[in-house]
Amino acid sequence: MIESAAPSLGATSEVGPLQTVMLHRPGPELRRLTPRNNDQLLFDGVPWVDRAQEEHDAFAQALTDRGVEVLHLDALLAEILSFPAARAELIGAAVDDPRLGATLQRDATRHLAWLSPEDLAATLIAGLAHDELRGHGLAYQLMDRSDFVVPPLPNLLFTRDSSVWIGDEVAVTSLAMPARRRESTITAAIYTHHPRFAGTEQLYAANLEHLEGGDVLLLAPGVVAVGVGERTTPGGAERLARRLFARELAHTVLVVPIAQERATMHLDTIATMVDLDAMVMYPAVADSLVAWTVRAPYGVADDADTIDLAVTGPQPFVTAAAAAMGIDRLRVIDTGLDPVTAEREQWDDGNNTLALAPRLTVAYERNTVTNAALEAAGIEVVRIAGSELGSGRGGPRCMACPVARDPL
């Protein structure tokens, strides 16, 4: 049975006590990764899947041990797939691929339509390989046997990116990389059809300008930072800002340009909040990071997508953030003076922490120098293993979509 009616959903900060989080335990979709496809599927290697699952189970356990309710994306998905409308939407999205052509689309649709909700959920996530379908026609016969009719979604593990709650609304995001685009059709369907989320307003959508949840940081109630770089575009930040202002979910958006590189694919790979007034930040960018401050114009117009924005800047990020947050100073915790160690630990997601409450955060154990700096600054660190999980280049924050945090 599907559970319904939840306590209040949403988040206004990164550090309010975490009540409910959506995770995705990595499964068969990771077994699809090979040295031939791992780059395209955005993994830096071929993970040992059993160990990745153990690491993820320990992550989930660390959260439940501290009173956090863990929702599993695959279970939510299977639950909505008993509804004909959700099945039709997600099967349609899975076969909506110009590589296939009409005949193979029809074969794949028929195959998927016969599956039980659980099997369909598993297939939408793990994908459908050429040899798993009895297809016919030109596209099927000419397809490489190692290719996928429906590609797998190994990055679903990083639930932070495909949706983000801001206030009591959820932004289903528009993912930039082709290997990830279908993820947000799944999150959109979950928020639309699952009774747990009944009545939730959706603030953004998968067909809009690119915007990824890893770039969105809720610095304080009413203050949202949006990284723009490899994934989120300035157009995405602009549209999000307009919608936040029109719905009175924020008064200030800080738009933060970040280097368009894999190591800094999202703002949360270089900085995350660990206290009401403190961030852990990659020292190489701490002095150079800037922000454009975007505010609502006087009198918000009815049309949330066209209102003019008041833009100032750029200013040093820490200055702009402190001003927007109404604090004297944003404390920056960095990983010390050794640039090589800092670079290594940034690459291994040392700055990508998941706050459970002010001064209590989850981090990968391997980043020993960063974690020691956090503790020296009074932050309690819950350490988790991530040797295999990290091969997708994401840390605890990337792997968690906070669905409910207590207000500060």
How far apart CA 263 and CA 304 sit, in angstroms, is: 34
Mask for 240-269, x = binds ligand CIR (CB under 6 A): -------------------------xx-xx
How far apart CA 111 and CA 108 sit, in angstroms, is: 5
Half-sphere exposure (Cβ direction) of 408: Cα atoms closer than 13 Å: 19
Half-sphere exposure (Cβ direction) of 141: Cα atoms closer than 13 Å: 4
CB of 97 to ligand CIR, least distance (A): 19
Instruction: Describe the strand order of the beta sheet including 290-295 as a list of residue ranges.
Output: 216-220, 223-228, 252-257, 290-295, 310-316
Q: Which residue is nearest to ligand CIR (CB)?
A: 214
What residues pair up with 21 in beta bridges, in sequence order? 70, 402
CB–CB of 13/273 below 8 Å? yes
How far apart CA 30 and CA 310 sit, in angstroms, is: 44
| Phi/psi at 136 (5° precision) | -150, 175
Mask for 303-342, x = binds ligand CIR (CB under 6 A): ----------------------------------------
398 binds ligand CIR (CB under 6 A): yes
Whichever of 39 and 375 has its CB closer to ligand CIR, that residue is 39
Active site residue 398: yes
Taking CB under 6 A as the binding criterion, the range among 31-39, 79-87, 300-308, 388-396 that sits at the site for ligand CIR is: 388-396
Q: Which of residues 159-218 bind ligand CIR (CB under 6 A)?
A: 160-161, 177, 180, 214
Catalytic residue, from 398, 399, 401, 403: name it. 398
CB of 352 to ligand CIR, least distance (A): 6
CB of 123 to ligand CIR, least distance (A): 21
CB of 262 to ligand CIR, least distance (A): 7
Whichever of 265 and 279 has its CB closer to ligand CIR, that residue is 265
* Burial of 261 (C-beta count, 10 Å sphere; 0-12/13-18/19+): exposed
Q: Is the peptide bond before 314 cis (omega within 30 degrees of 0)?
A: yes
CB of 349 to ligand CIR, least distance (A): 8
CB–CB of 258/314 below 8 Å? no
Q: Which of 59, 140, 148, 158 binds ligand CIR (CB under 6 A)?
A: 158
Q: Which of 10, 394, 396, 402 binds ligand CIR (CB under 6 A)?
A: 394
Whichever of 122 and 157 has its CB closer to ligand CIR, that residue is 157
Q: Which of residues 84-113 bind ligand CIR (CB under 6 A)?
A: none
Q: Which of residues 24-53 bind ligand CIR (CB under 6 A)?
A: 42
Residues that contact ligand CIR, how many (by CB under 6 A): 16
Whichever of 73 and 246 has its CB closer to ligand CIR, that residue is 73
12 binds ligand CIR (CB under 6 A): no
351 binds ligand CIR (CB under 6 A): no
CB of 169 to ligand CIR, least distance (A): 20
CB of 391 to ligand CIR, least distance (A): 9
Active site residues: 398
- Which positions touch ligand CIR (CB under 6 A)? 42, 155, 158, 160-161, 177, 180, 214, 265-266, 268-269, 392-394, 398
